Structure 1
Amino acid sequence: MRDIRKIGVAAVAALVVAAGVYWGMVRDGDPASAVPAAGRTVIVEAAPVQVRPVQQEVNAIGTLRSEDSIVMRPELAGVVTAIGFKEGQPVRKGQLLVALDGSIHEAELAQAQASLTLSRANNDRTAELLAKGAASQRTRDENLSKMRMDEATLALARARLAKTRITAPYDGVAGLRKVAVGDYVTPGQDLVTLDVIDPIKLEFRVPEIYLAHVAMGQTVTFQLDALPGQTFKAEVYAIDPQVDVDGRSLAIRARADNSGRTLRPGLFARASLGLARHENAILIPEEAIIPQGTDHFVYKVTGGKAAMTQVKTGIRRDGVVEIVSGLGAADTVVTAGQLKLHDGAAVNVRSASAD
């Protein structure tokens, strides 16, 4: 009796499971949600191939750099007597930035000038006496040498005095000053930075596999977290001849217009470098691709049937994939419902917006 009861319970359980499976197959009134029987039409979504230009891009992280950037430092020690710039404002080439006390150097210059005046007079007098035979050639040579030494001393005094006035070597923007009037500065001490920010440089790196695709003059678009919603353009002007052996990457620099001084050195940038451009590329939605190992397949709709077709892919961008071989411009591919298909299955194509 117990065996009969066990058999009855097992039979009821089997019926419940079978009913659940059947209900799952036909729920929502869509019998195609189950694996179709032979000869049954499968409802799928499909899209025609698009033919349009596509450009390969490589994304990278970069940093904005000044076109030129230097730190102004004195060559002589001295007391700051004047500051000739405003912080954060443009300066012109030759404009005074910092002046040091030059009183000692002015005195040295005056001393050198007086000594040179005397030595020139002595040299001229000796030359006249030598012509009359009243002086020796040795005396003439000594006076001439003294005059040359005094000329060099005068030039040195002038150079030292000139170095008490630190001027801008080119047009740029002054940074924040590190000193004030009255400070005593030493040789090599930081005074102020000077940057050229128009144009501004974008520096970034790309993997070495793109070496053959990178060229001078290519366009780079970039965005900044500091200025959301804005896109800027730059042009590649320099490619590092050496590949970084640690990161296996290639350093690239591009220039961007910054006439409004909106961009600032040091900003973090998200760059996109345009590489190869294909004018008549065959494009399909990314979801149409069926990967199998290292190969790629799609279901092509031909005469109301699905034909499994191997394809070779190319550029991938914004949810679309370039098909290098395997499809033509007039083909249509299945974009949803591939799991229910097999090669040669009859299909009923509906739009993606259908319920």
Structure 2
Amino acid sequence: MIIMIAVVLIIVAIIAGVKYTQISKLIAQSKVPQPPSVVTAMKAQFADWQPSVSAVGSMKAVRGVDVTTEVGGIVRTIGFKPGQEVAAQALLVQLNADSDVAQLHSLEATADLAATVLKRDKAQLAVHAVSQAQVDADDADLKAKLAAAEQQRALVAKKSIRAPFAGRIGITGVNPGQYLNPGDKIATLQTFDPIYIDFNVPQTQLQAIAIGQPVTVTADGLPKQTFTGQVTSIDTKFDQTTRNVTVEATIGNSAQRLVPGMFARASVESGAKQHYLTVPQTSVTYNPYGTTVFIATTTKNDKGEDVLTAQQTFIETGPTRGDQVAILSGVKEGDMVITSGQMKLKNGSSVKVDNSAAPLNDAAPTPQEK
């Protein structure tokens, strides 16, 4: 019996050994090395940051008005072309004033006669031929007739519509021979240089803005062009709905590329420049337990070869601008920070850097249309 038991145990041991060997070979064959994960990465570097307050706004002419007529009349001549630069007091429209001029001449003649009568009565008063009351009546009559002539002269002047200031005149729908009623619009006259930009700022950022601060303006339709100026006025009242306040800046516009009504972006520089360690915002992962990034480090594999592996580290972030975020702690200058592909990584994962489709790292990004 003892011999039989020993033989059975030996057979079982042999079978177990054979199975163990077979299973070990299968496990060894199944351990195929995983290819490294493809990621994008860049070195963390310091950059100078200019604190600023950015907002969108609208361009507004420093001086702009719809030229109208104060009196009615038929258009005789038009003295400008649409889009033309006109000088101050340049004649824009001449209304027909023939009857008004004739009336003015009549009133001037009447005033001249009144002046002659007054002069004659004063001479007669010297020899006591007329009373002082007569001379006083003549004087009052002369003043009334002179005032009537002056009123008519002002009416004649209103028939000549002139530019109240120098600027560019817009498109008009008025033609010679057309009758204009008082208040009818003739054209828009605006001064383009300099030009205003009005933009709204939340009350939480108002303390960062002061009169005289530099302002940089960019506008859609004018790519790669920036315009500079300074804050010239801050409104004294907040909007009760949005709790924003309107800020006005004056911008140099010598080339007259900025036009009133144009949509633009304003950036107000506030405070001294800051020196921050900067990485793209896509490299940061925000979790309930903390904010992390993956850093690609060089290690040795089993064969002694240099390979890149991902190491997760906790960080503290600072302000952001455009596509960038400032790192206050957790990353050193020169660290290779992984900027995309983190979702498939864990500590120790093998990685391969391919920056052919790296995310943007622009301090002032613009919409990309492709």
Normalising TM by the smaller chain, what interval?
A: 0.7 to 0.9
| Alignment partner, residue 242 of structure 1 | 237
Q: Within 1, Cα distance between the matches of 2:312 and 2:271?
A: 31
Q: Within 2, Cα distance between the matches of 1:294 and 1:90?
A: 64
Confirm whether residue 28 of structure 1 aligns to residue 31 of structure 2: no
1:1-355 pair list within 5 angstroms: 28-29=34-35, 49-215=44-210, 216-225=212-221, 227=222, 229-236=223-230, 237-293=232-288, 296=291, 309=314, 311-318=316-323, 320-323=324-327, 325-326=328-329, 332=335, 335=338, 340-341=346-347, 352-353=353-354
1:297 Cα deviation from its structure 2 partner: 5.2
1:110 Cα deviation from its structure 2 partner: 1.0
The runs of 5 or more residues in structure 1 that have no matched partner are 1-18, 34-43, 342-346
Greater mean deviation of Cα atoms: 117-126 or 54-63: 54-63
1:276 Cα deviation from its structure 2 partner: 4.3
Deviations 1:118-163 (A, max 9, x none): 2112222222232333322221211111111112112111111111
* SS across alignment from 1:166: strand
Deviations 1:177-214 (A, max 9, x none): 22111111111111122121223333332333221112
CA RMSD of aligned residues (A): 3.7
Q: Within 2, Cα distance between the matches of 1:45 and 1:86?
A: 59
Q: Within 1, Cα distance between the matches of 2:79 and 2:40?
A: 72
Identity %: 27
1:271 Cα deviation from its structure 2 partner: 4.1
The runs of 5 or more residues in structure 2 that have no matched partner are 1-25, 300-309, 356-370
One-letter amino acid of the structure 1 residue matched with residue 188 of structure 2? T
Q: Is the 8 A contact 1:68 1:196 kept in 2?
A: yes
Q: Within 2, Cα distance between the matches of 1:152 and 1:221?
A: 53
One-letter amino acid of the structure 2 residue matched with residue 218 of structure 1? P
Q: TM-score, normalised by structure 2?
A: 0.71
Q: Within 2, Cα distance between the matches of 1:349 and 1:47?
A: 17
Deviations 1:328-351 (A, max 9, x none): 86584754769624xxxxx69978
| Alignment partner, residue 40 of structure 1 | none
One-letter amino acid of the structure 1 residue matched with residue 34 of structure 2? D
| Alignment partner, residue 12 of structure 1 | none
1:217 Cα deviation from its structure 2 partner: 3.2
Q: Within 2, Cα distance between the matches of 1:192 and 1:142?
A: 48
* Gap change, CA 1:66 and 1:111, over 3 Å in 2: same
* Gap change, CA 1:150 and 1:246, over 3 Å in 2: same
Q: Is the 8 A contact 2:295 2:338 kept in 1?
A: no
* SS across alignment from 2:146: helix
* SS across alignment from 1:179: coil
Larger radius of gyration: 2
1:94 Cα deviation from its structure 2 partner: 1.6
1:293 Cα deviation from its structure 2 partner: 4.7
1:312 Cα deviation from its structure 2 partner: 4.8
* SS across alignment from 1:75: coil
* SS across alignment from 1:261: coil
* Gap change, CA 1:138 and 1:257, over 3 Å in 2: same
Q: Within 2, Cα distance between the matches of 1:231 and 1:291?
A: 36
* Gap change, CA 1:192 and 1:316, over 3 Å in 2: closer
Q: Within 2, Cα distance between the matches of 1:224 and 1:46?
A: 32
Q: Is the 8 A contact 2:233 2:247 kept in 1?
A: yes
| Alignment partner, residue 365 of structure 2 | none
Q: Is the 8 A contact 1:84 1:98 kept in 2?
A: yes
Greater mean deviation of Cα atoms: 124-133 or 156-165: 124-133
* Gap change, CA 1:334 and 1:213, over 3 Å in 2: same
* Gap change, CA 1:52 and 1:230, over 3 Å in 2: closer
Greater mean deviation of Cα atoms: 290-299 or 165-174: 290-299
* Gap change, CA 1:288 and 1:264, over 3 Å in 2: closer
1:234 Cα deviation from its structure 2 partner: 3.1
One-letter amino acid of the structure 2 residue matched with residue 316 of structure 1? R
* Gap change, CA 1:45 and 1:259, over 3 Å in 2: closer
Q: Is the 8 A contact 1:46 1:350 kept in 2?
A: no
* Gap change, CA 1:307 and 1:260, over 3 Å in 2: closer
Q: Is the 8 A contact 1:62 1:269 kept in 2?
A: yes
1:107 Cα deviation from its structure 2 partner: 1.6
Greater mean deviation of Cα atoms: 91-100 or 51-60: 51-60
One-letter amino acid of the structure 2 residue matched with residue 315 of structure 1? T
Q: Is the 8 A contact 1:285 1:335 kept in 2?
A: no
